[in-house]
Structure 1
Amino acid sequence: MKVKSQKDFWSGLMFIVVGAAFAIGALNYNFGSSARPGPAYFPFGLGVLLAILGGMILFEALTIETDDGEPIGAFAWKPLVVIIVSVAVFGFALPRLGMVISLPILVLMSAYASDEHTWLGSIINAVILTAMSWAVFVLGLKLTIPMWPSFLGG
């Protein structure tokens, strides 16, 4: 069988693998019932849906002809490394520096992964994301998240 779209083939395969991994991982938890879903209910359903979506994309990649076969270009290492490092820095900094400092650091570091970012847009994004995160997680959900650096008593 000939692959007619490399991009769709590999993305469909990735969706199937990730969806199956989440569905299989969810089997270690209690499903509960429809009225009282357990911790496995949502990840299992989402994993199955993701795998089905991947199967549909994979089927399309094998059946629908494209002009040039949609080859996969060079792998974008810079954005991958920048995002992984920025998330790791955020995870390390949050308990020590608090959300008011850690979240803007995350946004500003991860914005560097894009070739189209502007500092003004990144700063505005950081301020809005920090305010919304505070409103949702601290005010709304009442989660105990440090807001300020621990050395300031936060």
Structure 2
Amino acid sequence: MVRSHSPAARYSARPTGGRHHDNRRENAVSLRARIHSPQDVAAGLLFVAIGIATVVAALDYPMGTVRRFGPGYFPVLLGVLLALLGAAVAIKGIAVRIEDAEPIGPWALRPLILIAAAVIAFALLVRPLGLTVATVALVVISSLAGGRFSLKRVIALSVALVALSAAIFIFTLGLPFNLWPALWN
């Protein structure tokens, strides 16, 4: 079979079989073939989104100067660093071939909902009930998200996190958190 090398012959050739060829399917397969680690790409894009959201939220605060940072400086810096880190992770997921990379499986809703509920519970409980109760609630609710619940582990983690949080936020930084419910202070 002799092929014509003219531009008209190249662009007018139709695939046989009676149907028009669908380039969208080939493009999707080609894109999937270029993403070597879907988990890294998804995690990287999530980091980028959180970093951008942090920067946007922090822009409402004054930045200050180089010598005297304002309240918006550190969150903007962290947001930019998180977005850059996310971009690096996503690029690695596209550029670096990983032999054992698995596709992203279905989302497990129970852990996702329980971890979000734990963070929300902490935010709602820390002012009225204090750092101790809020931290214990955070640990108990988030431990239910895992496959195995161990009461010993929950108690040990709760005690360690309450002690560490109190040492850092209340005693070292002097933040105005109550350690116990307001009735006991």
Q: TM-score range by the shorter chain?
A: 0.7 to 0.9
Matched, 1:33 2:65: yes
Superimposed CA distance per residue, residues 11-69 of structure 1 (whole angstroms, 9 cap, x where no aligned partner): 22222222222223333332222211112222222222222222222222222233365
Say if 1:23 and 1:95 are closer, same or farther in 2 by CA, change over 3 A. closer
Shift of residue 9 of structure 1? 1.7
Matched, 1:115 2:157: no
Q: Name 1:59's counterpart in structure 2.
A: 91
Q: 2:158 aligns with which of 116, 126, 129?
A: 126
Shift of residue 115 of structure 1? 1.8
Secondary structure of the 2:69 match is coil
Say if 1:14 and 1:99 are closer, same or farther in 2 by CA, change over 3 A. closer
CA distance in 1, matches of 2:89, 2:167: 38
Say if 1:25 and 1:96 are closer, same or farther in 2 by CA, change over 3 A. closer
Q: 1:100 aligns with which of 128, 132, 145?
A: 132
TM-score normalised according to structure 2 size: 0.70
Shift of residue 153 of structure 1? 4.3
Taking every aligned residue pair, what percent have the same amino acid on both sides?
35
TM-score normalised according to structure 1 size: 0.81
Matched, 1:140 2:136: no
Say if 1:146 and 1:60 are closer, same or farther in 2 by CA, change over 3 A. closer
In the alignment, residue 42 of structure 1 is paired with which amino acid?
F
Larger displacement relative to structure 2 (62-71 or 122-131)? 62-71
Instruction: Name structure 1 gaps, 5 residues minimum.
Output: none
CA distance in 1, matches of 2:62, 2:160: 37
Shift of residue 7 of structure 1? 1.3
Instruction: Name structure 2 gaps, 5 residues minimum.
Output: 1-30
Larger displacement relative to structure 2 (59-68 or 6-15)? 59-68
Superimposed CA distance per residue, residues 76-98 of structure 1 (whole angstroms, 9 cap, x where no aligned partner): 21111112222222333333333
What is the correspondence of 1:60-99 to structure 2 with a 5 Å cutoff? 60-67=92-99, 69-99=101-131
For the pair shown, which has the larger CA radius of gyration, 1 or 2? 2
- Aligned residues between the structures: 153
